[in-house]
Amino acid sequence: MSEYKRTVVLVDDNQTSRKFFLRAIENLSVDLKTYGNTDDAIEYLKDNKPSLLFLNIIMPDKNGLTFLEELRKLPLHSDTRVIMITSKDYSQDRTIASELGALDFIVKPMSMRSITSIMLDYIK
């Protein structure tokens, strides 16, 4: 990665997961924006395109797949790089995520190494 910071967005209702991500990437040159719900995330994403978006599927306010479908309708995010996160590995979710253009699908629990590796693989 180059010297300037790239923005990565994490949308996950689980505060422990958000803190874990922060620790996992602390040595990377990344500006991590974390959101605990989709409403706050969409407010940021309306005017900003991150280098990478991590999106939890199972959230109380809105399903992550529904959120991704709505996000793809915004011209700014038709090609945003998205990685889906879930605690339940359902093949139907994988299929829908792929159809919506998600690049990868991570099942919790995640390791710090896997988070770092994925960021280095997909961040542009």
At residue 92, φ and ψ (nearest 5 deg) are -65, -40
Number of domains in the chain: 1
Cα distances (Å, whole numbers) of residue 30 to 11, 18, 25, 80: 16, 14, 7, 16
Q: Is residue 60 part of a domain?
A: yes
Pairing of strands 6-11, 52-56: parallel
- Quote the domain boundaries for residue 80: 6-122
Q: Is residue 1 part of a domain?
A: no
pTM value? 0.93
Runs of H (alpha helix) within the chain: 15-24, 38-45, 64-72, 91-99, 112-122
pLDDT digits (tens, 9 = 90+) for 12-69: 999 999 999 999 998 898 999 999 999 999 999 999 999 999 999 999 999 999 999 9
CATH of the domain at 28: 3.40.50.2300
Runs of H (alpha helix) within 26-81: 38-45, 64-72
